[in-house]
Amino acid sequence: MRYQAVLFDFDGTLVDSEALHYQSWMTVLTQDNIHYTELEFCDEFSGVPTLKAAQTLKLRHQLQPSPQALCDHKNRIFVARAATVFPKLMPYAKQILELTAKRVPIALVTGSSKAEALPVLDHYQLLGLFSVIICKDDVTQPKPHPEPYNKALSALNIAPHQAVAIEDTYTGLTSAKEAGVTAVVVPNVHSSKQDFIHADHLFTDLEAVFKWLSASE
């Protein structure tokens, strides 16, 4: 494999969790008679950190709770729902993780909390494949800041050029590129219209990513 480590995003890259995030937000917002369709909400907020989304929603709708309170409320709902209704894996996610982990260390670099991400990976028996896990609990500045990727690189003890990041949104792409990591983007239905001009490579699915990674073996 051409890289010494592969760093994976979570939401929208490995798991199709946008619907669950949307449903969790709607539970919060319907208390104030605010409603979005799933398409319009996910198209706007796909890849956006939860706190930033809360700040936008509070300002737009003049909501009384603080952005942090809105964020915490939404996260509690998501964690409770994800404990019984696990989001589906993205196509070829299980295969790319299992096959890649046999060749090089893999890392999870996500804007989700440990409480959101780890139970899902554990449910699909994928958690043990990761050599390093960086969640939003582990950083002070989440994506699009490079800190999450910088921490993963440090934990893996490798240089940026030795790693590749797999992302699905502009937010994640920006974080990876700012950290100096080769950035591959696999857009999903909600992020497909975002700006990926700075991506090093664009692919339609994870299977194509794995074939590309394996091409130099």
Complete domains list, the chain, with CATH: 5-16+87-214 (3.40.50.1000), 18-82 (1.10.150)
User: Does residue 93 have a pLDDT over 80?
Assistant: yes
The pLDDT tens digits for 61-82 are 999 999 999 999 998 998 888 8
pLDDT digits (tens, 9 = 90+) for 30-44: 989 999 998 899 888
| pLDDT score recorded for residue 122 | 95
For the chain, the straight-line distance linking the first and the last C-alpha, in angstroms and rounded, comes to 5
For residue 216, the model assigns a pLDDT of 61
pLDDT at 49: 86
102-113 pLDDT, tens digit per residue, is: 999 999 999 999
pTM of the model: 0.88
How does DSSP assign 175-196, residue by residue? Answer: HHHHTT-EEEE---TTTTTS--
Give dist(CA 14, CA 96) in Å, integer: 10
pLDDT band of residue 211 (cuts 50, 70, 90) is very high
Q: Which of 46, 38, 54, 86 is nearest to 168 (CA)?
A: 46
Alpha-carbon distance of 69 to 5, in angstroms, equals 37
How far is C-alpha 154 from the geometric centre of its chain's CA atoms?
A: 19
Quick one: DSSP state of residue 97? H
